[in-house]
Amino acid sequence: MAWWLPIFSLVLSLLAADHAVSSGKIPSYVSPCKRDSDDLNQCIANVWEALRPKMGEGIPKLKIPPLEPFLLPETNIDRRSDSLDVKATLTQLAIMGVNNVVFSKLNVNLTDLKGSVSLAFADLNVTTLYVMDAMLMKIIPMKGQGKFNGTIKDVKVNMTGKAELSPKNERGRSYLKLVEIKFKGFIGDATGRLVDTTQNPENSIFAETANMFYDNNRREVLDVLTPFIEEFCESLFLGVANQILSTLPFEEMFIETAPKNPPPPPPL
């Protein structure tokens, strides 16, 4: 008589199951955070700490690239301002120390999807090959081709960001996308060397002159470079973060709190 009942309930349970089924993206060693938890920020910090030991090598499933070292095969820089006019191609850029980042003042708001955090790095070692045609502070030409290595010390960054949440797709999942990110940074100190590799005496002189100028004007040059580095890191971070977020359903990152009348706990 009620032949349709089992079918109806099967459909219902399939629908419910589909809602509950996870994409399996969140690794088992991470406990997702409850959306309205009082200690959401602490929970997010805990998630990071759970992921940190794996971040050095990267987590392909979450599209997290290896952080130790962080590698950029090639990047082009083309900026024009009074303080720095530069056209450069960096290849094999490697940054060591990224995964030692120390977080503080994490503040994430899931209502307006805004957040802020302070980051600190004790030291970052950077090596890269470069092809460059630049003018620093209108007086120092930096021209040629070679390699650079350096150590950046005591880096502090205040980061703010804003995200948007996509509409739910047919599987009931929505995704965060960072739409705005702002880095405000301070570099305590840095040492480094440009080494020309063209064997062209003129280029060697450019590199040595730039090195000497830097050694004698560290603070001024760092203050000039900081906004460029901030901008560079903003676009880098935005790209990597959105690559990660595009694989992680919001519903699985931040789980909804259980309904008001939870079922009784199972007997012990």
Site mask for ligand NAG (CB under 6 A), range 89-128, x = bound: -------xx-----------x-xx-----x----x-x---
Asked if 66 touches ligand NAG (CB under 6 A), the answer is no
Are the CB atoms for 146 and 198 separated by under 8 Å?
Answer: yes
Stretch that binds ligand NAG, among 83-91, 143-151, 216-224, 258-266 (CB under 6 A): 143-151
CA torsion 200-202-204-205 (nearest 10°) is 170
Q: What residues contact residue 190 under an 8 Å CB cut-off, 6+ apart?
A: 150, 151, 152, 153, 218, 222
Closest distance of CB 73 from ligand NAG, Å: 20
**Three-state SS at 128:** strand
> Which residue reads 């699985």 in tokens?
252
Of 62 and 190, CB closest to ligand NAG: 190
Rounded to 10 deg, the angle between the 218-245 and 201-216 helix axes is 100
Strands 84-96 and 114-136: antiparallel
Binds ligand NAG by CB under 6 A, chosen from 185, 209, 222, 244: 185
Amino acid at residue number 103: F
Q: Which of 9, 191, 246, 247 binds ligand NAG (CB under 6 A)?
A: 191
Q: Which stretch binds ligand NAG (CB under 6 A): 21-29, 179-187, 196-204, 207-215?
A: 179-187
CB nearer to ligand NAG: pick between 32 and 185? 185
Which parts of this chain interact with ligand NAG (CB under 6 A)?
96-97, 109, 111-112, 118, 123, 125, 149-151, 156, 158, 184-186, 191-193
